[in-house]
Amino acid sequence: MTLVQLTASGLRKDFNRRPVFSDISFQLRPGQTLAVAGRNGSGKSTLLKIVASLLSPTAGTVTLTVGGNEVPARWMFRHIGMVAPYLHLYEEFTALENLSLIDRIRGAAHTAAEYEKLLAMVSLERRKHDVVRTFSSGMKQRLKYALAWMERPGLLLLDEPRTNLDADGISMVRSLFEEQRRDGIVIVATNEEDDAVMCDDTIEISAPRRGGMPPPAGEGS
């Protein structure tokens, strides 16, 4: 893994001229972890999408450097792994096919043995040839972790990381979290205290006080 550094400066996001959050800044280096907390609708998921370059901020900047070089937004996905409820899998394909397809989209080329190791890591090795639409919600969440871990990313973003997971799945997440923090960065968006206490620091998002309708579903959580 190449060492990364993440800097967020003065981030603000508005939806339909309604402020969701404003003036969020932080800097993270390898080995550092951050929890993003806040009530439902405060903008936790929105913040992670901005960090991942899936959304543009209304104001402010996000800078990811790798080996001292700034990464253009269009290439940030190569250095980021993300697990979130709103990320979709290719349900008509098998678990192995999902790994292979995402690998090719990212422009990488892992071996079949590496795919199998990833699936074993998330306890899906026995279901590798099954189409994903036959998976339970917890199994789909496990597959998302395999996909996020495939490039051994410098930055790991976890939005509600224990969604649909049983006790064994939660233990798996904790193990990956500890592995990532050895030389990478982790940001966790959560309302679960057990998730937040794993992190070094916590930022609490509270939307600016202003009237108006809430942001569209899934955009301000």
CA atoms of 23 and 1, how far apart (whole Å): 31
Q: What is the pLDDT of residue 105?
A: 87
Burial zone of 54 (CB within 10 Å; 0-12 exposed, 13-18 middle, 19+ buried): middle
All structural domains of the chain with their residue ranges:
4-204
Question: Above pLDDT 70, what percent of the chain?
Answer: 92
Q: Note the pLDDT of residue 158.
A: 98
Mean pLDDT of 172-182: 95
If you average pLDDT over residues 190-201, what whole number do you get? Answer: 93
**Beta partners for residue 202, in sequence order:** 35
Question: Over the stretch 109-156, which tens digit does the pLDDT of each residue have?
Answer: 889 999 999 999 999 999 999 999 999 999 999 999 999 999 899 999
pLDDT category at 207 given cuts 50, 70, 90 is low
Do residues 208 and 7 make contact, with C-beta atoms less than 8 angstroms apart?
no
Residue 210 pLDDT > 80: no
pLDDT in tens, 87-107: 999 999 999 999 999 999 888
List, for residues 33-72, the tens digit of each pLDDT value.
999 999 888 899 999 999 999 999 999 999 999 999 999 9
Quick check: 174 pLDDT over 80?
yes
pLDDT at 216 over 50: no
- The Cα 109–Cα 135 span in angstroms is 26
- Residue 214: what pLDDT? 47
Mean pLDDT of 150-169: 95
Please check whether residue 40 is in contact with residue 220, taking contact to mean a CB–CB distance below 8 angstroms.
no
Kindly report the pTM of this predicted structure: 0.90
The pLDDT of 194-217, averaged and rounded, is 73
In CATH terms, the fold of domain 4-204 is: Rossmann fold (3.40.50)
CA pair distance 8, 24, nearest whole angstrom:
7
